[in-house]
């Protein structure tokens, strides 16, 4: 890791794309091995039918859970609430639907984890932990601010004219981790 990355507090280095390629390669290899094991147990025809059935199930779950996630987002937008978890759920539903629609039994299991509301907390926590590792410690929440007012803030009282050369009011404070 370069000194620039250490000084900035970042943990992402040039090895991240290599790790991603390795993980994707191992995932593809695991899919092929699982597919071969299922073929040896059920036969090729039944395995293809099972793959098509899980893809169809993925479409159905994606339609149902996607509609629900988009409705939650729309409701939050109308009430002017922050999207928060609803936005994350919509992303997980999209990811889960993609994994379910693509052929492969391992992807189907991971897709189900993302699509079903009861199991969505696990991938949400894993993704949050992975993302949090790449955020500098100084930017991680919660951030608490303590401030001290040095003067009155607001309009001048009646009858008192504000001096055009008056210095701006300063509010001193410090960020408390």
pLDDT digit string (tens) for the chain, length 177 residues: 444 444 444 444 556 788 889 988 999 999 999 999 999 999 999 999 999 999 998 889 888 888 888 888 888 888 888 877 888 888 898 899 889 888 899 999 999 999 888 998 899 888 888 888 887 877 776 766 676 666 655 565 665 555 555 666 777 777 766
H-helix or E-strand spanning residue 146: strand 144-149
6 found inside a domain: no
1 found inside a domain: no
Same domain, 83 and 62: yes
Same domain, 48 and 130: yes
46 found inside a domain: yes
The length of the chain in residues reads: 177
- Cβ burial, residue 120 (10 Å; 0-12/13-18/19+): buried
- Domain span including residue 159: 144-176
Same domain, 151 and 85: no
Q: Please tell me the total count of domains within the chain.
A: 2
pLDDT at res. 115: 87
Same domain, 76 and 52: yes
Cα–Cα distance between 139 and 161 in angstroms, integer? 42
pLDDT at res. 50: 93
Question: Against a cut of 0.75, is the pTM above it?
Answer: no
pLDDT in tens, 13-61: 556 788 889 988 999 999 999 999 999 999 999 999 999 999 998 889 8
Same domain, 91 and 171: no
Same domain, 31 and 98: yes
């Amino acid at each position: 890791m370069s000194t620039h990355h250490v000084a900035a507090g970042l943990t992402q280095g040039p090895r991240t794309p290599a790790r991603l390629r390795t993980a994707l390669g191992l995932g593809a290899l695991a899919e092929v091995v699982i597919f071969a094991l299922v073929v040896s147990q059920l036969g090729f025809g039944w395995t293809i039918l099972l793959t098509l059935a899980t893809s169809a199930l993925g479409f159905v779950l994606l339609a149902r859970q996607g509609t629900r996630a988009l409705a939650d987002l729309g409701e939050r937008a109308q009430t002017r609430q922050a999207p928060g978890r609803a936005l994350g759920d919509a992303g997980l539903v999209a990811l889960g639907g993609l994994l379910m629609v693509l052929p492969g039994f391992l992807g189907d299991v991971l897709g189900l984890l993302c699509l079903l509301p009861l199991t969505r907390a696990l991938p949400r926590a894993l993704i949050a932990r992975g993302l949090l590792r790449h955020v500098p410690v100084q930017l991680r929440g919660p951030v608490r601010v303590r401030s001290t007012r040095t003067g009155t803030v607001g309009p001048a009282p009646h009858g008192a004219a504000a001096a055009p050369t008056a210095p701006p009011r300063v509010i001193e404070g410090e960020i408390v981790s």
